[in-house]
Amino acid sequence: MTAVSQEEEQAIVETVQTIVQKHGASLEELIPILNDVNRDLGYLPAAALAEISRLLHVPKSQLFAVSSFYSMLSTKPRGRHIIQFCESAPCHVVGGRQVWETLCANLQLGANETSPDGKWTLATTSCLGLCSVGPVLVIDDDVYGNVRPEQIPDILARYS
């Protein structure tokens, strides 16, 4: 687990408390809570899981079991920008693989890797349901459809 300073830990705890208060401290709200914490902090740091465990009276083992199961939850830090590339069949048959390979080559990253400078995380995603405009990739909240390999450098250049 990554070491964090006391101030950072305090900030994490406060974020968790606000989110738990919004949903209510019950087990059936666990996945919505984890989703929100993951979104606000970028991942689920150990300090956040500890605080959720305390507030919901759920063992840490169970929290780790849940957060390691779902692909949208991460227990490791991720990059500032998250690229989700749709790896589903409809995108694949309309040229998705060439786009994926160009992405990997441009970023020097493989699937589910984060760049050393902390800028990018390259992730694959299951179908986003945007199949009529495939190949599709999503960077943060921006959706790019009908992507061609030669557009990749221009798309990546939009993010700092």
Q: Among 25, 46, 133, 155, which residue interacts with another protein (rule: CB under 8 A)? A: 133
Give, as ranges, the residues between 43 and 82 that touch another protein (CB under 8 A): 62, 65-66, 69-73
Question: Given candidates 13, 17, 35, 77, which one binds another protein under the rule CB under 8 A?
Answer: 35
The CA-atom distances, in angstroms, between 103 and each of 60, 70, 137, 149 are: 37, 24, 10, 8
Whether 118 contacts 79, CB under 8 Å: yes
Helix or strand run (H / E) with residue 84: strand 81-86
Q: Annotate 20-76 with DSSP letters as a single string.
A: HHHH-SSGGGHHHHHHHHHHHHSS--HHHHHHHHHHHT--HHHHHHHHHHSTT--SS
Does position 98 bind another protein by CB under 8 A? yes
Among 2, 27, 59, 140, the residue binding another protein under the rule CB under 8 A is: 27
Minimum CB separation of residue 143 from another protein in Å reads 11
Q: How far is the CB of 63 from another protein (least distance, A)?
A: 10
Residues of this chain that interact with another protein (CB under 8 A) are: 27-32, 34-35, 62, 65-66, 69-73, 87-90, 92-94, 98, 101-102, 105-106, 125-134, 148-150
